[in-house]
Amino acid sequence: MLLKHIIVAAICVSTLVSLPAFGQDNPMFKADISIEASVPFIENKHSDGAQQNATIKSGFLGGYRFFFNKHNGVDLSYTYAHNIQTYSLESGSIGVKNNSDAVLEADAFRFPAKRWSPLVPAGAGALMFDPKTVAGASTQTRPGYPYGDGADFNLKRRVFPRTAHRGVFYNSATFNMGGLNNLDWIPNSVKPAVVFGYNF
C-alpha cells in the first residue's frame, strides 16, 4: 500500500515540476490547481445473466492544469475513493470493498471568452483497485480513458469556480478472482461536479 502511494506521488510530482519549463518563453501560459465536489454515477453492466455495479462511499479529486497557449493545455488529476464493487452472479452476489486510486492525464482544449471559458478534455491513465475484505482477491491496475466538458467562470480573482462533467471509461476490476475473470467489462463513471480552483 505504501509503495503504491509513493509511486503515484512520484508520477504526479515529476510531471508538475517539468510542466512550467514549457511555458517560460510563452506569456500565454496559465496554471491552476483544484479540488472537486462531485456526485458519481457508475453505469451498471449486464451480460450472460451477470451484473456488475459500483457504489462510491467516500473520496476526493485533486487536479492540476497547465496551458501552453491560449487554447491548448494538459489536465492532470488524482482521485481516491472508497467503494464497493458488487457482482450479481447466478450463484449469488459478491461485494468487494476496496480503495481505488486513479491517475489520469488529458489533453485540454478551451475556448476563452470574456466571462467564461468552455473546456473539453480527453486522455488516458490508470485506475488501481485495492481490495479489503475478500480472501483471494488481489490488487489490480486497469486502464482508464477520461473525457468530459466544463467551463471556468472568469471572476478576475485567483480563486475561481468551475462546472464540470467528468467521465471515465475503464476496464472493471475482477481482482484476479476466478469467478469474476469473465466479467472484464468497460463501465462508464460519470461525475457532474462543482470545482473550486486557484490560479497561479
What's residue 103's pLDDT? 94
Segment 1-27 shows an average pLDDT of: 46
Determine which helix (DSSP H) or strand (DSSP E) holds 10, and give its type and residue range: helix 2-18
Q: Could you tell me the residue range of the domain that residue 36 belongs to?
A: 2-199
- Please determine, for residue 179, whether its predicted confidence score (pLDDT) is greater than 80: no
Classify strands 159-170 and 188-199 as parallel, antiparallel or unpaired: antiparallel
What's residue 24's pLDDT? 45
What's residue 108's pLDDT? 93
Higher pLDDT residue, 34 or 17? Answer: 34
pLDDT exceeding 70 applies to what percent of the chain?
75
* Burial state string for 98-120 with b = 16 or more CB within 10 A and e = fewer than 16: bbbbbbbbbebebeeeeeebebe
**Which alpha helices (DSSP H) does 79-147 contain, by range?**
none
Segment 144-152 shows an average pLDDT of: 90
- 13 Cβ contact partners less than 8 Å away, ≥ 6 residues apart: none
Q: What's the number of domains the chain is made of?
A: 1
Q: Which of 32-36, 71-75, 77-81, 184-188 has the lowest mean pLDDT?
A: 184-188
Cell of 108: 485540454
**Is residue 96 classed as helix, strand or coil in its secondary structure?**
strand
pLDDT tens for residues 114-133? 788 898 999 999 999 999 87
What's residue 198's pLDDT? 83
Cell of 150: 466544463
- At which residue does the C-alpha cell 468552455 appear? 118
pLDDT tens for residues 57-111? 667 888 999 998 888 999 999 988 888 888 887 777 888 888 889 999 999 998 8
- At which residue does the C-alpha cell 479489503 appear? 132
- Please determine, for residue 167, whether its predicted confidence score (pLDDT) is greater than 80: yes
- CATH classification at residue 94: 2.40.160.20
